[in-house]
């Protein structure tokens, strides 16, 4: 029996979507059909049709910073650092449901995997507000490190990881006891991403120009040095690669999680801010904050093997040569 192997094709930008000025935060619906893009400078949110790669609608929001979509895809939470609140909208429809008061300078938001809670980081309070998603009220507050920004949940919902930008730490919140443990990382941690099995967290350290890889079981860290100021990170669904926005180089780095090496560098628009990967793992979306655009990157996909000859087929099956031999490169969560 012959095994067919195809080398990955190089990642590349396949489309650039014009948007309102200053795209920053992003969120993708669970079915991957829409990409929401926030514009804090113009106080608006754009909705991109992922099939046509075009903005289908834009609506006003007073803060328009970080965003999170519920696991069932019916609600959108948008943080408003201007008045310490979170706005809740219908998906689709973009109708305002309510506004929830939280701490000062809410920067990041994330739904728990079961959709029952929303964690919101409050950068000026050094706290995380915990919102009951059914009641849409704050049910608790947890103190974390200095200047909390991004927040992500472990896939089993047992813990939430918070990047403390000014503290150089990641705060790990036990979602049952609400106890907090701090892990030292690099300087200026912002973006953070977790593997689906929860074994590793990737953290983008903007100031120290590095990616910290946290072993979540032993709480140990390794460091990947990068030639840019990394801001945000996103993992492919299979956990094989990390995509990192490099703000100082207008690029996205691709890191091989097995070797922990940068294997690809992709040029994008100006000052790339957020990066998100579609649920099927085929595309990465990057908000180009000073280019007023979203870059769409086609992610390498392994080729399907040729079928083996059936009864009566003549000739022999010959393995296909790789389409391309590629080296890769990246950044972190």
User: Which residues of the chain have a pLDDT value below 50?
Assistant: 1-9, 309-333
Distance CA 287, CA 259 (A): 27
Q: State both tokens at 90.
A: 């219908």
pLDDT at residue 304 in the model: 55
Torsion, Cα 188 235 288 325, to 10 degrees, reads: 120
What is the rounded CA–CA span in Å between residue 54 and residue 19? 9
In which order are the strands placed within the sheet that holds 67-69?
67-69, 75-80, 85-90, 96-101
pLDDT at 328 (0 to 100): 30
pLDDT at 67: 98
Q: What are phi and psi of 248, to 5 degrees?
A: -80, -10
Please report whether residue 307 resides in a domain.
no
Query: Looking at the 3D structure of the chain, how many domains does it have?
Result: 1
Q: Is residue 315 part of a domain?
A: no
Helix (H, G, I), strand (E, B) or coil at 2: coil
* Residue 313 confidence (pLDDT): 41
Residue 261 falls inside a structural domain: yes
Please report whether residue 42 resides in a domain. Answer: yes
pLDDT digits 0-9 by tens, 235-290:
999 999 999 999 999 999 999 999 999 999 999 999 999 999 999 999 999 999 99
Residue 182 is assigned to a structural domain of this protein = yes
Residue 306 lies in a domain: no
CA atoms of 153 and 162, how far apart (whole Å)? 9
Q: What is the DSSP string of 257-324?
A: TTTTEEEEEEE-SSSEEEEEE-TTSSEEEEEETTTTEEEEEEPP-PPPPPPPP-TT--S---PPPPS-
* Residues 33, 49, 153, 189, Cα dihedral to 10°: 150
pTM of the model: 0.88
Q: What residues pair up with 28 in beta bridges, in sequence order? A: 35
CA distance 115 to 264: 35
Backbone angles phi, psi at 139, to 5 degrees: -105, -5
Domain for residue 312, yes or no? Answer: no
pLDDT tens-digit series, residues 171-207: 999 999 999 999 999 999 999 999 999 999 999 999 9
Beta strands in 19-74 (DSSP E): 23-28, 34-39, 44-49, 54-60, 67-69
Q: What is the pLDDT of residue 10?
A: 59
Q: Which stretch of DSSP H or E encloses residue 175?
A: none
Q: Is 153 helix (H, G, I), strand (E, B) or coil?
A: strand
- Dihedral (C-alpha) 10, 36, 188, 270: value to the nearest 10 degrees? 60
| CATH number of the CATH domain containing 225 | 2.130.10.10
Domain span including residue 150: 12-298
């Amino acid at each position: 029996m012959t095994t067919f192997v195809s080398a990955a094709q190089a990642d590349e930008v396949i489309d650039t979507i014009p948007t309102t000025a200053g795209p920053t935060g992003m969120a993708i619906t669970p079915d991957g059909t829409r990409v929401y893009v926030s514009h804090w400078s113009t106080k608006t949110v754009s909705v991109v049709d992922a099939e046509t790669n075009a903005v289908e609608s834009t609506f006003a929001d007073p803060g328009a910073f970080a965003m999170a979509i519920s696991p069932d895809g019916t609600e959108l939470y948008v943080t408003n650092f201007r008045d310490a609140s979170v706005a809740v909208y219908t998906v689709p429809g973009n109708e305002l449901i309510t506004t929830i008061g939280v701490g000062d300078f809410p920067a990041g938001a994330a739904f728990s995997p079961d959709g029952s809670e929303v964690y919101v980081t409050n950068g000026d309070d050094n706290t995380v507000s915990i919102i009951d998603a059914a009641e849409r009220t704050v049910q608790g507050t947890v103190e974390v490190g200095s200047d909390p920004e991004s927040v992500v949940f472990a896939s089993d919902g047992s813990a939430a990881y918070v990047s403390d930008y000014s503290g150089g730490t990641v705060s790990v919140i036990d979602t049952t006891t609400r106890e907090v443990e701090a892990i030292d990382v690099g300087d200026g941690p912002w973006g953070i991403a977790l593997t689906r099995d929860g074994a590793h967290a990737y953290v983008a350290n903007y100031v120290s120009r590095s990616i910290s890889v946290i072993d979540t079981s032993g709480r140990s860290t390794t460091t990947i040095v990068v030639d840019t100021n990394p801001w945000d990170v996103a993992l492919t669904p299979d956990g094989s690669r990390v995509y990192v926005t490099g703000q100082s180089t207008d690029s996205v780095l691709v890191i091989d999680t097995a070797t922990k090496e940068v294997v690809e560098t992709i040029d994008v628009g100006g000052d790339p801010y957020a990066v998100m990967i579609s649920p099927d793992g085929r595309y990465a979306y990057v908000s180009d904050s000073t280019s007023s655009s979203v870059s769409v990157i086609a992610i390498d996909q392994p080729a399907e093997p040729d079928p083996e000859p059936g009864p009566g087929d003549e000739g022999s099956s010959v393995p296909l040569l790789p389409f391309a031999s590629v080296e890769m490169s990246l950044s972190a969560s």
